[in-house]
Amino acid sequence: MSPRRYVISLLASAEFARAYTLTALTAAFLSFAITRLMSTVTLATIITVLALIGIAMLLARRDELSLLRLAPTSLLAFMGLALISTIWSSDRSQTLTGWLTLLGYAIIAITIGHVRDTLQTVRAIGDTLRWLLGVSLGLELVSGVLLDMPFTILGIEGNLALGGPVQGIFGTRNMLGFIAVIALITFVIEWRTQSIGRFVGVLSVSLGAALALLSASPTVLVLALAVGVATIALTIVRHTDPARRATVQWVLGSLVAVALALAFALRHPIIRLLDAGSDFSTRADLWNMILDFVAQRPVSGYGWFGPWPRGEFPFTYINFLLADHHQSALNAYFDILLQLGWIGLVLFLIMGCVALVRSWLVASVRRSVVYAWTPLVLMTLAVDSMFESFTLTGSGWLLLVLCLLRAGQSRSWRENIDAAQTGAVPTLRPEGGSRDIAG
């Protein structure tokens, strides 16, 4: 076998795909630690190399892939707007850098979505988060119990003996809480699909739950409540007779709309109940200030930057007026509104809503519970985006793109075009007619 054929064979192999997926996920979830222990340049280099390898893998598998279904249209539109915003940005090089960061993680997510199926992806994320949460708990034990000293370089304050809050290797308690909720969803799906045994399943869920509680993040309770309600609703739909399933979907949708209206009306008592008053007050002041700047550029925004860079308008000026040092809007929707205007926010909402509806409908009729992972993670990302901007950077963005791709691989208009070219009839068979493997 010639060296060229060997390389192509290696890139297209299942073993390489698994190794790539685990490596890429580890790098994405460890982005904060990599930056702190090494540098931002090191992280950028790792993501660039992984993206280039991902492109090579997709090229090696080009006979298996359809260019038309490579990425969702809504994602391409959002990425296109972010790139075009370099035209009106105050710093084109910074905007281009921010866009390339989005692109790098997006390529990695698209590669994983095409070289691994849903169950393999869930198992890879589960394996990665088990180790990283375990390392986080170990470092917190050493810092807060054995040595009783903070690990400043990793942002670990050593509060474990006090019952928290803890940060692990993820930088902040809110990020740890977010990762822990994603891990809990993944661990339960793994357990239900018999991908892991009972012993490992119990330990994994216990680890995720313990770190979620120890993070003392006020958003964890909200995320857990949202995921719990979504899980119950999805379970009801999955066990409903197919003839009545559409009616149940509409009823549940109406209940969600009413619940959201009540939550908004009772937002102040809810905030007091969560003991997040001061935290929310900080966010409210920040969001009100952002709206003042959005009013000056409501349609296009100030250009895409991602995390707020120092010395750039209006980010530095907002922090100056608030006498603070925010690195984001603490809300993904406000961040997009500030940077890409109403056009960007509408595209982002369309992108997320279409993916959520598609993945929910797929999970409603497919036999394997593994298909519940995508809508539940999308729900987590949507809710967390109201309190943080994690969805727009690093592992949050990678998870979002991965979910968009998973949702777009079913119930898409592309299926009809592919069917016309191949003669196949695209169908989504209900329970009993599915060929999905649950184990």
pLDDT (tens digit per residue) in 374-384: 999 999 999 99
Give me the pLDDT at residue 341, please. 93
Lowest-confidence pick of 171-185, 232-246, 298-312: 232-246
Give me the pLDDT at residue 278, please. 58
Q: How would residue 268 be classed by pLDDT, with cut points 50, 70 and 90? A: low
**Residue 266 pLDDT exceeds 90:** no
Helices then strands, counting H and E runs in the chain, come out as 18, 0
**Residue 437 pLDDT exceeds 50:** no
CA-closest candidate to residue 293, choices 323, 310, 313: 313
**Residue 316 pLDDT exceeds 60:** yes
Q: How would residue 368 be classed by pLDDT, with cut points 50, 70 and 90? A: confident
Most confident among 234-248, 337-351, 358-372 (mean pLDDT): 337-351
Give me the pLDDT at residue 290, please. 92
The residue ranking higher by pLDDT, 263 or 101, is 101
How many Å apart are CA 370 and CA 119, to the nearest integer?
A: 6
Q: Write out the two tokens for 358.
A: 């598609």
Give me the pLDDT at residue 28, please. 95
Q: How would residue 430 be classed by pLDDT, with cut points 50, 70 and 90? A: very low
How many Å apart are CA 101 and CA 373, to the nearest integer?
A: 26
Q: CB pairs under 8 A, 24+ apart, for 124-128? A: 124/18, 124/21, 124/22, 124/25, 125/25, 125/182, 125/186, 126/183, 126/186, 126/187, 126/189, 126/190, 126/195, 126/196, 126/204, 127/22, 128/22, 128/25, 128/26, 128/29
How many Å apart are CA 238 and CA 365, to the nearest integer?
A: 6
259: Cβ contacts below 8 Å, ≥ 6 apart: 229
Q: Write out the two tokens for 375.
A: 């809508």
> What angle in degrees, to the nearest 10, is found between the helix axes of 332-365 and 218-238?
30
**Residue 212 pLDDT exceeds 90:** yes
What's the chain's average pLDDT?
85
How many Å apart are CA 319 and CA 164, to the nearest integer?
A: 28
Q: How would residue 432 be classed by pLDDT, with cut points 50, 70 and 90? A: very low
Cα 263 to its chain centre, rounded Å, is 24
Give me the pLDDT at residue 162, please. 85
pTM score, whole prediction: 0.89
Taking residues 334-351, what's their average pLDDT?
94
Q: If phi over 0 gives left and psi between -120 and 50 gives alpha, with beta otherwise, what is residue 153?
A: alpha
Element (H, E) at 188: helix 173-192
Instruction: Give the whole-number percent of the chain exceeding pLDDT 90.
Output: 49
**Residue 435 pLDDT exceeds 70:** no
**Residue 67 pLDDT exceeds 80:** no
Give me the pLDDT at residue 323, please. 84
Lowest-confidence pick of 20-24, 259-263, 265-269: 265-269
The residue ranking higher by pLDDT, 37 or 435, is 37
Q: Write out the two tokens for 67.
A: 């260019």
CA-closest candidate to residue 69, choices 328, 398, 403, 409: 409
**Residue 234 pLDDT exceeds 60:** yes
Structural domain boundaries in the chain:
116-216, 218-417
Phi, psi of 156 (to 5 degrees): -85, 120
Q: Write out the two tokens for 20.
A: 């790539």
**Residue 318 pLDDT exceeds 50:** yes
Give me the pLDDT at residue 248, please. 82
How many Å apart are CA 252 and CA 263, to the nearest integer?
A: 16
In tens, the pLDDT along 19-65 reads 999 999 999 999 999 999 999 999 999 999 999 999 999 999 888 88
User: What single string gives the DSSP state of each residue in 259-318?
Assistant: HHHHHHHTHHHHHHHTT-HHHHHHHHHHHHHHHHHHTTSTTT-S---SSPPTT-TTHHHH
Phi, psi of 189 (to 5 degrees): -65, -45
